[in-house]
Amino acid sequence: MKKQDLSRVRNIGIIAHIDAGKTTTTERILYYCKMIHRIGEVHEGAATTDWMEQERERGITITSAAITARWPRDGVDYKINLIDTPGHIDFTAEVQRSVRVLDGGVVVFDGVAGVEPQSETVWRQANRYNVPRICFVNKMDRTGADYDRVIGMIRDRLAANPVPIQIPWGAEDRFRGVIDLLNMRAVSWTDALGEAAEYHEIPDDMQEAAEAARATMLEAIVETDDDLTMKYLEGEEITVDELIEALRQATLRSDAQPVLCGSALKNKGIQPLLNAVIDYLPSPLNVPPVRGVDPDDEDVTLERSSSDEEPLSALVFKIVTDPYVGRLSYVRVYSGVLESGSSALNPGKRNKERIGRMVRMFADRREDIERIGAGDIGAILGLKNTFTGDTLCDGDHPILLETIQFADPVIQIAIEPKTQADQDKMTDALQKLAEEDPTFRVTSDSQTGQTILAGMGELHLDIMVDRLKREFKVEANIGKPRVNYRETITRPTDVDYTHKKQTGGSGQFARITIEVEPGAPGTGLVTEDEIRGGAIPREFIKPTFQGVEDAIQSGVLGGYPVVDVVVRLVDGKHHEVDSSEMAFRTAGSMAMKEALRRGSSVLLEPIMKVEVVTPDEYLGAVQGSLASRRAAIQSMEQVAGAQNISAFVPLSEMFGYSTELRSVSQGRANFSMEFDHYEPLPSNLAEKVMKGEG
């Protein structure tokens, strides 16, 4: 099989807030790349990448879909591995794992709404993994679309450096196309499917605006390159190729983000976006070597470059249970080659996996392949013990890549099968769903015997229950949603604890002194070793803190996990014979439990950042509805004839809110929410929760 030219490969994701037009944009990309022969619309339930029944019914993306397409440019075919990600916050894990393995991103913004809450979330995720990105301001044909306002929001809210390389030609219902600022020409699409771009002289009424925008673009680009800055200051002519190369390098460093515009639904602006993907986003050769650690010594850092000649290193970033072929493991190969019939080491689990059938994915369709080379994305069938975040590598040159971190679930429901036959099917089905989605957790309540499902929101759990019924034919009764509370302390305390046990022969002895105080919100558990003079030997420090970690899994009020505490180990004693790791672990656990009792523990509830967009005439009713749900309104902003309300609301108050909002606004308002932080629960409500009434 011919080795591919990595400079002609792009691994990109389409990421954005819900309803910004990601899937519609993806559908056009597939059509113009000749991967599909008919454009499917999201609102008709016919989009290629929205292949699940639940996605087509609701008109939203639930699971990220991977597609491989080819885009011809200047006589050369470029291969684009594209992932269309969800925009709803309940499915943020899909974005997280996609961003982890992508080289570049196309961030889609609604031309009217601009930067929305989930836009900020996906931008932060891309920042975390240092993913270069370009911006596409979509829906320029909509009433209220404002290109300049969106660019200002990208700069202010995302602390980014947007560089517009286009401006819109016309606006709202008169949107015709774009003005290309690099080549100073107007581009329009007049045929129904937007296949043939037409190039024009810039109209007289747009000339002044175009020249001003080009001057601004020129300054923004030359600022990123010292050589171009000198040429610019000396008045020398700067070529278009020089501008593109300088902007490409700035984009690869994440110092700038090219901005384009269009209307995916009206088939305008997609081909220039594809050209921008080739021009500005990295190939696997442009990204730094992937870093990992030696599985036998995590202090040793290892690197692998994007080359077929390097030892194999690959990351499994997604698991899908396919009803026809079983478990599919999506994999990004960073170095070396995965070949059908070979074997690879899973260094985290210390076992070998046989690589059987491999496929290239086209949403829910598959094409068999024999190899996945460096820099490429594909899927493997039949891996037995390898799941999301696991590494596959060369057994003779092991490397452990950084895994993918996911947020903890914030909401849970109880589920009971209707019959014994359903019980057997449900256990197997829930295991498969939990393997697919790391933010979906399944546990058993030892007191009630119920099965508890935990997830990121009502919609997340609703989809999972729906999949249980449809895909796995499991009938079950569902309990009311419950909130995942947390506990923390409110005042500093210290505990001197001695663990002493004599049982004939060597006993158990450990004495420790810990100081415990409230930590900053969001910090979880912070441990500090302040032992001096060898009061406790080094080998017993780690077990002591492990005991502390054991204790905070279940607090002293309602048995909820404890967060945001600082624990300092300041003193202690040991016995030459009777002290052991287990003795100090027990001491750490018991001392921490005592500290929680003394530290005036309180319950914390999850607070959601909620954004409501409502027509002006329903503003009062919407505000009243929020106030009744203990909302703290942060801001209100007028946007194109509507009010954008931003508020913090306890998750426990948001159940059923979508129905109420539709009712008070006659179905014209919409909202989005994402987890933001934990706050102390008011004492009257905390009492109810601890009595099991909340």
Dist CA 88 CA 439 (whole Å):
14
All CATH 2.40.30.10 domain ranges of the chain, comma separated, are 290-401
> Strand 371-372 to strand 290-294: parallel, antiparallel, or no bridges (unpaired)?
unpaired
Residue position matching structure tokens 């807030």:
17
- CATH tag for 7-286 (out of 3.90.228.20, 3.40.50.300, 3.40.50.620, 3.40.50.10540): 3.40.50.300
Name the segment(s) of the chain with CATH classification 3.30.230.10.
Answer: 490-600
Strand pairing of 9-16 and 76-84? parallel
Burial class (CB in 10 A: 0-12, 13-18, 19+), 560: buried
Task: Report the distance separating Cα 155 and Cα 149, nearest Å.
Answer: 10
Does residue 518 or residue 505 have the better pLDDT?
518
d(CA 516, CA 528): 10
Q: Which pLDDT band, with edges at 50, 70 and 90, does 449 fall under?
A: low
Q: How many whole angstroms separate alpha carbon 118 and alpha carbon 124?
A: 10
Residue ranges, CATH 3.30.70.240, the chain: 603-690
Structure tokens at 423: 């019980």
**Domain over 603-690 is classified CATH 3.30.70.240:** yes
The answer to whether 525 touches 553, Cβ cutoff 8 Å, is no
Superfamily of domain 411-482: Elongation Factor G (Translational Gtpase), domain 3 (3.30.70.870)
Distance CA 92, CA 535 (A): 46
648 vs 432, more confident = 648
Of 47-61, 147-161, 572-586, 661-675, least confident by mean pLDDT is 47-61
If residue 243 lies in a helix (H) or strand (E), which one and from where to where?
helix 240-252
**Cβ pair 513, 588 in contact under 8 A:** no
For residue 233, give every residue at least 6 positions away whose Cβ sits within 8 Å of its Cβ, in sequence order, or none.
Answer: none
Q: What pLDDT was estimated at residue 254?
A: 93
Residue of 296, 300, 303 lying closest to 335 (CA atoms): 303
Amino acid at 57: E
pLDDT, residue 100, reads 80
The secondary structure of residue 681, as a DSSP letter, is: P
Distances (CA, A) of 662 to 43, 650, 657: 19, 20, 9
- pLDDT confidence of residue 342: 92
Topology of domain 290-401, CATH: Elongation Factor Tu (Ef-tu); domain 3 (2.40.30)
pLDDT value of residue 55: 41
Task: Provide the token pair at 199.
Answer: 């190039």
Strand residues in 574-640 grouped as ranges (E): 602-615, 632-639
Task: Report pLDDT for 42.
Answer: 45
More confident site: 528 or 532: 528
pLDDT of residue 52: 47
CATH 3.40.50.300 residue ranges of the chain are 7-286
**Which run of H or of E encompasses 71?**
strand 65-73
pLDDT tier, 152 (very low <50, low <70, confident <90, very high otherwise): very high
What tens digit of pLDDT does each residue of 579-619 get?
889 999 999 999 999 999 999 999 999 898 888 888 888 89
Contacts of 118 (CB under 8 A, 6+ apart): 16, 17, 18, 87, 88, 89, 92, 672, 674
Helix ranges restricted to H, 18-164: 22-32, 53-58, 92-101, 117-128, 147-157
Nearest CA-CA partner of 632 in 653, 617, 615, 603: 653
CB neighbours of 5 closer than 8 A, spacing ≥ 6? none
Residue 64 pLDDT exceeds 60: no
Tens digits of per-residue pLDDT, 619-671? 999 999 999 999 999 999 887 667 889 999 998 888 878 778 878 887 777 77
DSSP state of 547: H
Chain region(s) in the chain for CATH 3.30.70.870: 411-482
Question: What separation in angstroms does the CA of 305 have from each of 292, 310, 313, 339?
Answer: 12, 7, 10, 18
- Strands 602-615 and 632-639, by their bridges, are unpaired
Distance from C-alpha of 497 to C-alpha of 553, rounded to nearest angstrom? 20
Name, in order, each residue with C-beta under 8 angstroms of 373's C-beta and a sequence gap of 6 or more.
3, 4, 308, 333, 337
Q: How confident is the model at residue 542, as a pLDDT?
A: 92
Using one digit for the tens of pLDDT, what is the confidence trace for 38-54? 665 544 444 444 344 54
Fold of 490-600: Ribosomal Protein S5; domain 2 (3.30.230)
Q: Among the listed ranges 236-240, 254-258, 358-362, which one has the minimum average pLDDT value? A: 358-362
Q: What percent of the chain has pLDDT over 90?
A: 46
